[in-house]
Each structure stands twice: as structure tokens, then as C-alpha cells.
Amino acid sequence: MKVWEKYNILKRRIESFKLLNFDWDSYGAEPFTDFSIIEAIRCSRFIIDRFPNVEPDDIFIAPISNGTIQFEFNYDNFDFLISTKEE
């Protein structure tokens, strides 16, 4: 798979978090800001660039109730957990 295809797959998954409304976690979580989405897209590009053998299906992307977005994946027998920063 080409790098731009990986990037587009991850970008679509991240942008789907824009659909989460207030209280999406049943504990009062706010919707994601444009800042959070943009930072997560930047992070996905970082991951693709630095870890070329990781495929989009190998990356778990989770919305976090504090407004950050978390990425989890394994590379070369190391587990990585990367979170975006809060606004």
C-alpha cells in the first residue's frame, strides 16, 4: 500500500470523531475540536513516516474523553501508545 493511501485511511478514521456529539461517552465528554482532529492527523502522518511497515489496520485509534486522540500499535515487538496533546 502506498504511503498516501495509508495516510488517507487514517485521516478518514480520525475525521469520523467529528461526528461524536456532547456526552458521546455517557460521562459528559465534549465533542472534538478542530485542533484535536488536526493534531491527530499530524500524528498519523508522523507514525506513517517513522514506521513504514505499520499498516492502517494495525493501528488502533481511540477517542479519549479529555479531548485527545490515542494511537496504539506494535512495531518490531515494541508496543507504542501515542496521545495527542490537549488544546
Give the pLDDT confidence score for residue 1 in this predicted structure.
86
Q: Distance between CA atoms of 72 and 82, rounded to whole angstroms?
A: 7
Summarize pLDDT for 11-48 with one digit per residue, the tens.
Answer: 999 999 999 999 999 999 999 999 999 999 999 999 99
Give the pLDDT confidence score for residue 87 in this predicted structure.
72
Summarize pLDDT for 64-77 with one digit per residue, the tens.
Answer: 999 999 999 999 99
Listed by start position, the domains of the chain span 3-83
Q: Distance between CA atoms of 82 and 59, rounded to whole angstroms?
A: 11
Give the pLDDT confidence score for residue 38 in this predicted structure.
95
Provide the phi-psi class of 26: left if phi over 0, else alpha when psi is between -120 and 50, else beta.
left
Q: Please, are residues 33 and 15 in contact by the beta-carbon 8 Å criterion?
A: no
Q: Distance between CA atoms of 39 and 41, rounded to whole angstroms?
A: 5
Q: What's this model's pTM, rounded to 2 decimal places?
A: 0.90
